């Protein structure tokens, strides 16, 4: 019995030594062996074949001029699909006049690009003011996490015109009251926008208290059904005027009868998270699907200046706290002559309770998941983002991306503290 026990002990010792040796070999291979190359992410490519116009002529022309009969080669994972008779036009306001400009393509029939859903009209955002290229994508991710109805999605693409490289763009649906975007059903449905920034260049429908509303898109055809479009806009404006009165009266029950308060809480959370300087001022969208519907805030759109963009403001990096409920911003909102409804809402316990409820339901405890997604997204576009930076020679995209990720980490921690408890 004694000899058998000794042999067993010897075998155990030998096995342990073998395991240790294997472990040290594995460590040595990882430390000194050849490094595995990270998997290269292939960015889809759009190549524009322009007809009867050069790209320089298109860029120097009017933003709304339409160029028809173009071809588009769309290459994904080595496979190319060609689309004929594609219409090209410019888009954007402040970005249209920049060196790298956004544009819109209208296909002859609805197409589903990169699994984003079928639509005829697609926009290519230049992200010219966003050194990281990520800010619009981040805002769309937040909107989807919050469950915002009609939340946008997008994907990054490389854009070429023949052999000319235009850079990294962000592909998404055009914001409109149609399938693939804000899918309204009622003939009197309408998509509207607060656009105080462009009051002098857009047709304004002023609310009772002077807020500039612009018609983004109606369900009815503007050319063939102008009377129906006018009725839809009048119906929306009547409801919004009543909302302004209800907000100033701080009558929560009345407010709840007119607007979808959850959608306003979701919009507030995206604005709060992103420190969006355009919030409640420009690119602030609403929709109403007919006379019996409430006003809904959203979808979220245009966040290239948000998330502490230092190109917009050198002080933006330090603003991690709440920009809209701080005393300073409350005073600014109070003094402004229009779009003051958010000032009254954030002063109401019922609204802030709804904000906290949505945060706890949709965002609380998910910072690790969100940051992992963001880092993976940044890594996926890193190489092409660097190429884009070289093409336009305007920024350090790697440094800006690292800064953005760290700022978002701090902002998420702050919101967990003030809203998630």
Q: What is the pLDDT of residues 40-69, one digit of tens each?
A: 568 999 999 999 999 999 999 999 999 999
User: Could you tell me if 75 and 214 lie in one domain?
Assistant: no
Based on the domain organization, do 327 and 238 belong to the same domain? Answer: yes
Query: What percentage of the chain has pLDDT greater than the value 70?
Result: 86
**Residue 320's pLDDT band (cuts 50, 70, 90):** confident
Same domain, yes or no, for 97 and 209? no
- Domain identity same for 195 and 318: yes
124: in domain = yes
Q: Which residues is 80 bridged to in the sheet?
A: 75
Q: When comparing pLDDT for 315 and 375, which is higher?
A: 375
Question: Is residue 74 situated within a structural domain?
Answer: yes
Clarify whether residues 141 and 217 are in a common domain: no
pLDDT at 123 over 90: yes
At residue 105, the pLDDT reads: 98
Q: Does the residue 402 lie in any domain?
A: no
282 in any annotated domain: yes
Interval 317-342 mean pLDDT: 71
Domain boundary among 148, 173, 198: 173
- CA distance linking residue 239 with residue 227, whole number of Å: 19
* Mean of pLDDT over the chain: 88
205: in domain = yes
> What's the domain range around 87?
45-173
Considering 339, 362, 385, which residue would you say is the last residue of a domain? 362
Residue 5 maps to a domain: no
Q: 222: which residues sit within 8 A by CB, 6+ positions away?
A: 229
Q: Is residue 326 in a domain? A: yes
Do 271 and 346 sit in the same domain of this protein? yes
Is the same domain home to 220 and 343? Answer: yes
Based on the structure, what is the number of domains in the chain?
Answer: 2
- In the prediction, which pLDDT does 335 show? 64
pLDDT at residue 79 above 80? yes
The closest of 90, 91, 84 to 109, measured between CA atoms, is 84
204 and 166 belong to one structural domain: no
Instruction: Identify the band that residue 321 occupies on the pLDDT scale cut at 50, 70 and 90.
Output: confident
306 lies in a domain?
yes
Query: What pLDDT shows up at residue 397?
Result: 83
pLDDT at 284: 94
168/202 same-domain check: no
pLDDT at residue 137 is higher than 50:
yes
Residue 227: alpha-carbon gap to chain centroid: 34
163 and 205 co-located in one domain: no
**Confidence (pLDDT) at 330:** 66
Reported as a single tens digit per residue, the pLDDT across 83-116 is 999 999 999 877 888 889 999 999 999 999 999 9
Domain shared by 219 and 86, yes or no: no
**Which residue, of 126, 141, 173, is where some domain finishes?**
173
Q: Which residue has the higher pLDDT, 207 or 8?
A: 207
Residues 259 and 287 in one domain: yes
Q: Are 340 and 279 in contact (CB under 8 A)?
A: no
């Amino acid at each position: 019995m004694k000899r058998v026990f000794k042999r067993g002990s010897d075998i155990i010792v030998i096995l342990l030594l073998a395991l240790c040796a294997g472990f040290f070999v594995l460590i040595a291979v990882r430390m000194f062996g050849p490094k595995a190359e990270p998997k290269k992410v292939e960015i889809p490519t759009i190549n524009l074949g322009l007809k009867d116009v050069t790209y320089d002529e298109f860029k120097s022309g009017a933003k709304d001029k339409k160029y028809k009969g173009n071809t588009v080669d769309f290459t994904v994972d080595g496979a190319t699909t060609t689309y004929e008779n594609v219409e090209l036009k410019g888009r954007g306001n402040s970005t249209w006049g920049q060196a790298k400009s956004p544009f819109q393509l209208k296909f002859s029939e609805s197409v589903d690009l990169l699994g984003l859903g079928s639509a005829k009209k697609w926009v290519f955002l230049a992200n010219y003011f966003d050194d990281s290229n990520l800010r619009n994508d981040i805002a769309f991710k937040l909107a989807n996490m919050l469950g915002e109805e009609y939340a946008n999605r997008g994907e990054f693409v490389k854009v070429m015109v023949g052999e000319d490289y235009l850079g990294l763009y962000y592909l998404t649906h055009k914001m409109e009251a149609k399938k693939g975007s804000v899918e309204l059903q009622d003939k009197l449905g309408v998509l509207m926008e607060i656009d105080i920034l462009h009051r002098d260049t857009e047709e304004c429908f002023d609310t009772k208290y002077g807020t500039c509303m612009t018609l983004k898109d109606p369900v009815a055809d503007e050319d063939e059904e102008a009377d129906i479009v006018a009725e839809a806009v009048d119906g929306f404006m009547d409801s919004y005027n009543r909302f302004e009165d209800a907000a100033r009266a701080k009558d929560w029950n009345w407010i709840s009868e007119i607007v979808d308060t959850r959608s306003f809480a979701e919009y507030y959370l995206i604005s709060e998270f992103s420190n969006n300087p355009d919030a409640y001022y420009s690119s602030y969208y609403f929709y109403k699907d007919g006379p019996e519907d409430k006003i809904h805030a959203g979808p979220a759109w245009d966040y290239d200046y948000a998330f502490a963009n230092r190109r917009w403001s050198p002080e933006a990096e330090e603003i991690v706290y709440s920009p809209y409920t701080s005393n300073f911003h409350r005073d600014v909102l109070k003094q402004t002559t229009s779009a003051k409804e958010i000032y009254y809402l954030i002063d109401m316990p019922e609204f802030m309770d709804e904000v906290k409820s949505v945060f706890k339901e949709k965002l609380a405890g998910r910072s690790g998941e969100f940051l992992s997604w963001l880092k993976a997204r940044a890594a996926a576009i890193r190489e092409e983002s660097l190429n884009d930076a070289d093409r336009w020679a305007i920024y350090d995209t790697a440094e800006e991306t690292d800064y953005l990720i760290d700022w978002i980490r701090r902002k998420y921690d702050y919101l967990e503290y003030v809203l998630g408890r």
